[in-house]
Structure 1
Amino acid sequence: MENNASNSTRANGTRRLLAAAVVVLAALSTVPAAAAGHSAPGRQASARHAALPAAAQRHDARGGLLALTPVARVGRAGVADFLATAGMDTATVRHGVRAYRLTYRTVTPQGGPTTATGLLVLPEGGAHRLDLVSDTHGTMVHRDYAPSVGEDSGRYAAYLHASAGRAVAAPDYLGLGRGPGFHPYMDTRSAVTASLDMLRASRTAALRLGRPLTGDVYASGFSQGGQVAMALGRALESGADRRFTLRALAPVSGPYDIEHAEAPGTFDGSINPTSAIFYMTYFLTAQNRLHPLWKDPSEAFREPYADIVDALFDTNHTEEEIFQALPATLKELLTDDYYRQIQHPSGALLAAYRGQDGNCAWKPDVPVRLYSSSGDTDVPIANARHCAADLAKRGIEAPVTDQGPVSHNETYLKSGPQIVRWFDAAAARR
């Protein structure tokens, strides 16, 4: 049995490693606006901010475009270099890209009016009318890591798909990027409304930029965004907006089954302890804002954490700051009673789990492929297998591509280029 000093050293080291990993996770949906060989407007982009006519700014409809701001321009060689540096296959890179921040109207989880931002990326060259990829990003806590703002992170997925010749709509979600308020983490319903409204805003922006959209949508997303992609696909096929037609669905490493796969993984060893405390604390604090799980934080969290956890997840703290403030394990963070509730959920907590589950319980009319890895200790592959089983019950064969003994982030780095090729094949069959 190791002494406390050894345990502390290991825990601190693990937190530092995961902090770096989570930053990479955020980078899977955000991009450096300034990098070697990249042309980036940066601060100058604000001066060229494309203000819309007053009539458009007064538009009250969901998805109404309020502002269109150039944020980056990267040539084909620059895109290839950027993706290669991350370890991605660059064979599908055919074009340079232009990226824009969109500000648009959407709704809060309660249905009230609000605004959100997102990233629209267009290929330079290729077809005049463009198919659209909806790319929904993974877990991030700081608003500046969001796709439309994260100049120092990476927009791997958006650049990857746009350089292959499609437009890409990458929502920041509510409360991230330049959107107001807190981020309602793992509230699938509001993530879908923000994503759907981003598609609408992208349609308007692309037309304004002289690259109209065909209306065909290819949906993908990573981690939290994998779950959002499944739910968005369901909304599109249910007729949420008849101007868009879902053509294929390829989510990566989504937490599709919180009740039976993700939450149990916190205790059975399939999720590493540092990821477990990070994800669970983020989930609990966000869900409590939407559907109260306790009357006072001391019911769930030990001191001194009861006084600080909610403020840590205010979208203004980095992962590194959060890891430094939290203990090494959930057992050290939670009261004995709430630790037992996490293991055996009931009442409001169980309702919070189930409110995000079930997004694979439908019958898509388009091809579906699920991507995951047996080495993922953030979102165990059981999530994808349970999703495939839900689809199979409805007569849909959705193969699960297991990328093998690789990490959560590496799963996307391997899957992304495969998805581009699969989308290419699906488009060719139309």
Structure 2
Amino acid sequence: MKTNATSLKTRRLAATGAALVTVLAAATGPALAAPGDNESTAPGNWRGTLVSVETVEQLSPQAAADQAAGRGYPARAARYGVTHYRVVYRTPDEHGRLTTASGLVSLPERGRDDLRVVVYEHGTMAARAQAPSVNPAVHGDSALFAAAGYAVAAPDYLGLGLGPGPHPYGDLASEVTASVDLLRAARSVAHSQGHRLDPRVQVTGFSQGGPAAMALGRALQSGADRHFRLGSLAPVSGPYATRDAEAPAGLDGTLHPKVAVYYFAYWLTAMNRLHHLYDTPSELFQAPYDQAVEALFDGTHSDSEILQSLPDTPQQLLTPHGIDWALHPTGGLLAAFEASDSSCDWAPRVPVRVYAASGDRDVALSNAQHCAQALTEHGAQVTLTDVGTVEHSPSRRLALPQVAAWFEERLPA
């Protein structure tokens, strides 16, 4: 399936409206801002505590099935209606300081007290307005699982949705803490509705959410929360090997050049805040893009706006030094790569299914191959499934129903 790269990214944000971006920018003001510095050293029991809960949708079984079908999943009868809740909760930021994050918690309308749990880690997005808790257009991802009887937690991650500050794109550590703390918040929401959450968590995620899912699985297995533990793990089309797979594929034309430009710009500007890659953007980005690239990822710009403001190829975006450094990383860039690429370097004690697509030109298939190999070398039981010669977004639509069916085999709802 051949499609213009710009339109591929634009479609992912088709539901974004300028009005919604404006509303969400306002919503990150004082009412939902991070607590003061005097709370930054508070005991760890503040993590996952609720700041606010809002019911955003209540769906009949048919409406829940229609919502999942609207995300491209095969139509099938839903067993339960679904209620989606927008949750704001306390969590550490990427530096360990107290802040807030938001996420979507979806509960099936069923009488059973105990609910099995699915975490869904979303894919790459730059606009706050596209995050699960504030974007009804992506609620079908959660409805796919919740309509089958699962409680679903879909974190926005830091800096997206109603979370303050810029999003630390690709930072595994904060993706994990935001996810664990949303699970804690979801437990409180479920309890308020008369449910208990099963401790065994089934974890999946797409694109950026692939490594986030892998890292969350490792944290749960290692005891990150006293209540929850890992049940199953099934990431989809993730960039698990940015140094050895994704960056080279972005520079040699294996990936859509325009999409590679977007990923390079987003990841490098985010990693600079964590690993100090440059003093001024002109060290890595060519003029005139060096003057605008950081501001493009402030959470108010849609992907289509960002793509229109950036060049067509990585060679037009990056300086010669930036290209050479990406291929031969040292110092801060090497540290950033190593932190981003660590999600598969462990031994899950549960079966793992890794899904990818050989036709994906956003995230190279070699990422999944690197991940599966690393897991196998650590002694894990892993299955790599190629969903076919399809592009990036279609790989999600093909893989997630398979994930849902496998979760049902593993830990039925």
**TM-score (ref. length: structure 2):** 0.89
Equivalence map 1:110-121=2 (5 Å):
110-121=95-106
- Residue 15 of structure 1 deviates from its aligned partner by 5.1
Question: Would the aligned equivalents of 1:174 and 1:184 in 2 still touch at CA under 8 Å?
Answer: yes
CA spacing shift, 1:160–1:177, aligned 2, 3 Å: same
Runs of 4+ in 1 over 4 A off after TM superposition: none
CA spacing shift, 1:214–1:397, aligned 2, 3 Å: closer
Equivalence map 1:22-421=2 (5 Å):
22-23=12-13, 61-91=46-76, 93-125=78-110, 127-151=112-136, 153-421=137-405
DSSP 3-state at the match of 1:353: helix
Question: Would the aligned equivalents of 1:92 and 1:417 in 2 still touch at CA under 8 Å?
Answer: no
For residues 74 and 325 of structure 2, the distance between their equivalents in structure 1, rounded to whole angstroms, comes to: 44
Identity %, equivalent residues: 47
- Residue 93 of structure 1 deviates from its aligned partner by 2.6
1:317-336 deviation digits (Å, cap 9, x = unpaired):
11111011111111111222
2:100 counterpart letter in structure 1: T
For residues 134 and 83 of structure 1, the distance between their equivalents in structure 2, rounded to whole angstroms, comes to: 16
* Structure 2 unaligned spans of 5+: 21-41
- Residue 92 of structure 1 deviates from its aligned partner by 6.2
- Residue 80 of structure 1 deviates from its aligned partner by 2.0
**TM-score (ref. length: structure 1):** 0.86
For residues 282 and 131 of structure 1, the distance between their equivalents in structure 2, rounded to whole angstroms, comes to: 35
DSSP 3-state at the match of 2:158: coil
1:90-110 deviation digits (Å, cap 9, x = unpaired):
336321210001110000111
1:80 counterpart letter in structure 2: A
1:101-158 deviation digits (Å, cap 9, x = unpaired):
111000011110000010000111263210110111000000011000013x222221
For residues 326 and 379 of structure 2, the distance between their equivalents in structure 1, rounded to whole angstroms, comes to: 34
2:4 counterpart letter in structure 1: T
CA spacing shift, 1:126–1:393, aligned 2, 3 Å: farther
- Residue 286 of structure 1 deviates from its aligned partner by 0.5
1:199-233 deviation digits (Å, cap 9, x = unpaired):
01111111012222122210001011111000000
- Residue 259 of structure 1 deviates from its aligned partner by 1.2
1:326-350 deviation digits (Å, cap 9, x = unpaired):
1111111122222222232222112
- Residue 307 of structure 1 deviates from its aligned partner by 1.1
Question: Would the aligned equivalents of 2:350 and 2:381 in 1 still touch at CA under 8 Å?
Answer: no
For residues 243 and 301 of structure 2, the distance between their equivalents in structure 1, rounded to whole angstroms, comes to: 28
CA spacing shift, 1:239–1:163, aligned 2, 3 Å: same
Aligned length: 386
CA spacing shift, 1:132–1:92, aligned 2, 3 Å: farther
1:131 counterpart letter in structure 2: R
Question: Would the aligned equivalents of 2:255 and 2:363 in 1 still touch at CA under 8 Å?
Answer: yes
Question: Would the aligned equivalents of 2:70 and 2:140 in 1 still touch at CA under 8 Å?
Answer: no
- Residue 255 of structure 1 deviates from its aligned partner by 0.9
Question: In the alignment, what sits opposite 2:26?
Answer: none
Q: Which moved more, 1:58-67 or 1:334-343?
A: 58-67
1:287 counterpart letter in structure 2: M
RMSD: 2.0
- Residue 22 of structure 1 deviates from its aligned partner by 3.3
For residues 256 and 79 of structure 2, the distance between their equivalents in structure 1, rounded to whole angstroms, comes to: 38
Question: Would the aligned equivalents of 2:251 and 2:314 in 1 still touch at CA under 8 Å?
Answer: no
- Residue 194 of structure 1 deviates from its aligned partner by 0.5
1:150 counterpart letter in structure 2: N
- Residue 85 of structure 1 deviates from its aligned partner by 3.7
